[in-house]
Amino acid sequence: MADIISFTINGTKYDIDPSNTTVGPTTRLVSFIRSNANLTGTKTMCMEGGCGACLVQAISVDPVSGQSVIRSVNACLVPVLSCNGWNINTVESLGNRKVGYNAIQQRLVGFGGTQCGYCSSGMVMNMFALQQARGETLTMQQIEDNYDGNLCRCTGFRPILDAMKSFAIDAPEELKAKARDIEELCKTTCPLKPDSGICQGQSACGGIGGPANQGCNVGAQFAGGCCQSQLSPQPQGCCQGSQKPTGCCQGNSTPIVIPSVDAVFPGGVQWIKATDLASAFTAVRSFVDAGLRYRIVGGNTGIGVFKNEGSYGAYLDVNDVTEMRTTTVTPTAITFGGTNTLSFLIEFFQTNAARPGFEYLAGMSQHLRRVANTSVRNLATLSGNLMMKHDHHEFPSDIFVLLETVGARLNIGTSPTNIQAYSPLDFLDTDMSGGIIVSVTLSQKTGYSFRSYKITKRHQNAHAYVNAGFLFRLDVANNFRILEKPTIVFGGINPTFSHAVATENFLTGTELGSINTLKAAVAFLQDEINPDYIPPDASAEYRKKLAINLFYKTVLGLLGSSISNRNETGAEDLPHLLTRGEQIYDADTGDSPLYKPVHKLEAPAQVSGEAEYINDIPAVPGELFAAFVQATEGSAVLASLDTSAAIAIPGVVAVLTAADIPGKNDNMGFAGTEDEPIFVEVGQRIQFHGQAIALVVANNRGTCNRALPLVKATYTDIQKPVIRIEEAIENAKQNGTWKTVVSASPKKGSPNAITKRVSGTFRTGGQAHFQMEQMITIAKPTESGLDVYASTQWTDHVQDVIASALDIPNNK
């Protein structure tokens, strides 16, 4: 058992020694890549696995098959200590201005797929990982599906998807033609350096292509712009020969040994990596006996949902516990390990859906494709999702709904000899202290009909408003008589509601083909479905209607062709079709080269990670970090601020408030006359939830964030916040700030005279503004003032507010 965590990034080996490091169990891979490996092409934004800016390629070893697994992962979610034995590649490994650019980078530039460029490295790495994992026989649908977790703020997805789909075997001719034009512009070659076997990466225009057609030695791997005999240093002694582009070993090989880890970090925090079930149980028992609060680590994607679960005294990494990754298939049952990823289960379910009595797996596989996004599913484990539901009953877990609907059994143990089976519903109230979800068993369901649904604010990458699962055993010949108690499961209703028990009991033995049965069942649902309402959830009324409508949709589907064609269409799901877009415009060929299209000059730097954003600027010695303390009330008077507990944290330098501003406490500057202070002063009214009331300054970002909740604010005169436009209008009319805009009407008889008047109310939903690059400012003192680097589009306003607050001239 080792206490050193080792992995490679772009072929460079990194060792984390717990006795000599600032890295710990809470350090995420993206932070290590940026701050320790100093590779800032990998970006950060949401820290939730939702935007794709931090995507990297990870190559790890499957503990069951021994084969290399290539996948894209969200570096913002992965604990760096989980990367033991991994080979990680970032956008910097693909190409740059010195050695040239990879074909993916070239096409994203050539198709005009960058604007601000903050998402570009994630877009590139997502495609690169997909190509390396699946090969070059990709379809447009596969490529588009793989981009369910990549957000773009400004460019628009059409040129990005066009660039990526140009690699598809079924791409339309116009995309292929454009791709050929780009390749013609940058013909790719791979001349080898003399006697080295490594390509020079040079081409006619400094560009390079993808893994194919590089002139590399047979069996060598193309990566980082060069032919290599290994993708990176030999992983765990696997490859004795060369490595195939798929990451599989070629030629002679030795058995892969995944090392276990037992490391203790400063403060006594333990990190244990188990590789077998017995050692996993031993570790958990030791944590419990020592009274430690511990976390079992799989994909760690739960931190993107529930962010403030710490702190922990111990961590157990179970990703490579063989018994928790194995699968067993018999004619009557299928069992799979709890730490299998959702991506694996999608394929596993689809493969086994052809088995008699397991047809329902096809529906489960399809449903799983709508859980989170591809890169999150590449990490997320089934057990981890279930534990989120266990610890937060309000969580609308799709996994729980699916497993409860089909009668799955969760095999939970406290030792290798004490493993018991539980239903998902019983599991919710089971004490999991010392327990591990080892595996899940599904049984054969011959003669059953399964349906499941997920209603969300968008088709992909979103939690459910309401999700549902239905399982019926019907005698179709006898007016669809329900032969046994059906299963009706809902999520997203309230923390205590899962089964529509009363409806299930009523339906048993009834004829589903009878309209009276349907009406009565709906009445039962009306009575027993009582959603709660906690903002920003959809309203309780809406979610109740959704649940009942999903039952109705299920009934229509089960009745099938026995009902009218009109009603039968109500059972159909609207297909999520392949997207496409086109631009049609006249090209002005005169005055060449004035109107000749050219690639954006900054684009190559953006797609290679070379473009420097504010947060990429290297820290200087003594640089401090700051974060705002925000108001937790929407309308109240700030009565007091107690900063003593935050100040007492080692590493905290100061907590700044309105009293520390030497100039004007005014955030508006010349932008207007509205009253918005930089910090709310004690005694002033809070204007909105989240308004800045203080600023914590510390010597590192982690310390800064830990100190934030220790600043204690008290409030008086707490009032209901104004959150509806009607309320805001009424308040404005009452206090005299309501303004109207009146336009003069054209006179009668004029050509523009009004002939009709329309009155009423037009309403449009709100939309949250966001940007991919985080809002960040760096201020460096100089001999005469401040040099300020701000991620803003309004530099003169920022300059004016800072100068006013510091009471110095704008030019300082």
| Predicted confidence (pLDDT) per residue in 459-474, tens digit | 889 999 999 999 999 9
DSSP lists the bridge partners of residue 779 as: 788
Per-residue pLDDT band for 743 (boundaries 50, 70, 90) equals: confident
Q: What is the pLDDT of residues 121-145, one digit of tens each?
A: 999 999 999 999 999 899 999 999 9
Whole-angstrom distance, CA of residue 398 vs CA of residue 382: 10
Q: Who contacts 354 (Cβ-Cβ below 8 Å, separation ≥6)?
A: none
Supply the angle between the helices 382-391 and 398-405 in degrees, to the nearest 10. 100
The residues, ordered by sequence, that sit 6+ positions from 596 with a Cβ below 8 Å of its Cβ are none
Count, in order, helices (H) and strands (E) of the chain.
22, 27
Bridge partner residues of 473 (DSSP): 448
Tokens of 209: 């292509």
Task: Report which residue type is found at 723.
Answer: I
Could you identify the residue written with the tokens 């992962």?
73
d(CA 744, CA 729) in angstroms, rounded, equals: 23
Q: Looking at residue 233, what is its pLDDT?
A: 34
Q: Is 271 exposed, middle or buried (0-12, 13-18, 19+ CB in 10 A)?
A: buried
What integer is the mean pLDDT of 481-510? 98
What is the domain partition of the chain in residue ranges? 1-264, 265-317, 322-446, 450-572, 616-722+773-806
Tokens 């539901």 identify what position? 389
| Residue 557: Cβ within 10 Å count | 16
Question: Distance between CA 402 and CA 469 in Å, rounded?
Answer: 6
For residues 140-153, give the mean pLDDT: 96
Specify the pLDDT at position 745. 77
| Residues 62, 83: Cα–Cα separation, whole Å | 13
| Contact residues for 454 (Cβ-Cβ < 8 A; gap 6+) | 367, 370, 398, 464, 467
Residue 492 CA from chain centroid, whole number: 20
Q: Which residue has the higher pLDDT, 251 or 683?
A: 683
- What is the pLDDT confidence band of residue 765, given thresholds at 50, 70 and 90? confident
Position 746 scores a pLDDT of: 79
Q: CA-based Rg of the chain, rounded to a whole angstrom? A: 30
> Measuring CA to CA, which residue among 118, 117, 125 is closest to residue 374?
125
Q: For residue 240, what pLDDT is reported? A: 32
Contacts of 475 (CB under 8 A, 6+ apart): 481, 483
Q: Which residues contact 324 (CB under 8 A, 6 or more apart)?
A: 277, 280, 318, 337, 338, 339, 340, 383, 436, 438, 439
Phi-psi label, residue 289: left if phi above 0, alpha if psi -120 to 50, beta otherwise: alpha
Name the CATH superfamily housing domain 450-572.
Answer: CO dehydrogenase flavoprotein, C-terminal domain (3.30.390.50)
Distance CA 298, CA 380 (A): 7
State the fold for domain 1-264: DNA polymerase; domain 1 (1.10.150)
Report pLDDT digits (tens) over 654-704: 999 999 999 999 999 888 777 899 999 999 999 999 999 999 999 998 899
Q: Tell me the mean pLDDT in the region 294-313.
A: 94
The reported pLDDT for the residue numbered 24 is 93
Is the pLDDT reported for residue 200 higher than 50?
no
State the pLDDT confidence band at 556, using cuts at 50, 70 and 90: very high
Q: What is the CA angle 155-157-161, rounded to 5? A: 125
Burial 147-170 (b: 16+ CB within 10 A, else e): bbbbbbbebebbbbbbbbbbbbee
Q: What is the mean pLDDT of residues 481-490?
A: 99
User: In which band, very low, low, confident or very high, does the pLDDT at 45 lie, cut at 50, 70 and 90?
Assistant: very high
Q: Which residue has the tokens 């004690």?
A: 682
Per DSSP, 310 falls in state -
Three-class SS of residue 664? coil
Residue 217 has pLDDT above 50, yes or no: no
**How would residue 192 be classed by pLDDT, with cut points 50, 70 and 90?**
very low
Provide the edge-to-edge strand list for the sheet that holds 12-16.
Answer: 12-16, 5-9, 87-89, 55-61, 68-74
**Distance, CA of 361 to CA of 637 (rounded, Å):** 56
Q: Give the torsion through C-alpha atoms of 223, 225, 227, 229, to 10 deg.
A: -40
Q: What is the DSSP letter of 625?
A: E
pLDDT of residue 185: 67
Instruction: Please say if the pLDDT value at position 212 is more than 70.
Output: no
- Mean pLDDT, to the nearest integer, of 177-201? 59
d(CA 532, CA 471): 25
Q: Encode pLDDT of 3-20 as tens digits.
A: 899 999 999 999 999 988
Provide the terminal-to-terminal Cα distance of the chain, rounded to the nearest Å.
Answer: 58
Q: Higher pLDDT residue, 170 or 670? A: 170
As a residue count, the chain comes to: 812
Lowest mean pLDDT among 388-392, 535-539, 592-596, 780-784: 592-596
Q: How far is CA 787 from each of CA 618, 780, 784, 802, rounded to the nearest angstrom? A: 15, 5, 9, 11
pTM, rounded to two decimals? 0.89
38-42, 389-393, 444-448, 731-735: the lowest-pLDDT one: 731-735
Pick the CATH number of 322-446 from 3.30.465.10, 3.60.21.10, 3.10.180.10, 3.30.420.40: 3.30.465.10
User: In the prediction, which pLDDT does 310 show?
Assistant: 78
Cβ atoms of 356 and 333 closer than 8 Å = no
Distance CA(315)–CA(81), nearest Å, equals: 10
Return the SS3 of 108: helix
| 3-state secondary structure string across 387-398 | HHHHHCCCCCCH
Looking at every residue in the chain, the average pLDDT score rounds to: 90
* CATH for the stretch 616-722+773-806: 3.90.1170.50
Give the separation between CA 350 and CA 738, rounded to whole angstroms. 60
CA 339 – CA 64 distance, rounded (Å): 12
d(CA 484, CA 636): 56
Q: Residue 245 pLDDT > 80, yes or no?
A: no
pLDDT recorded at residue 250: 39
| 741 vs 688 pLDDT, higher one | 688
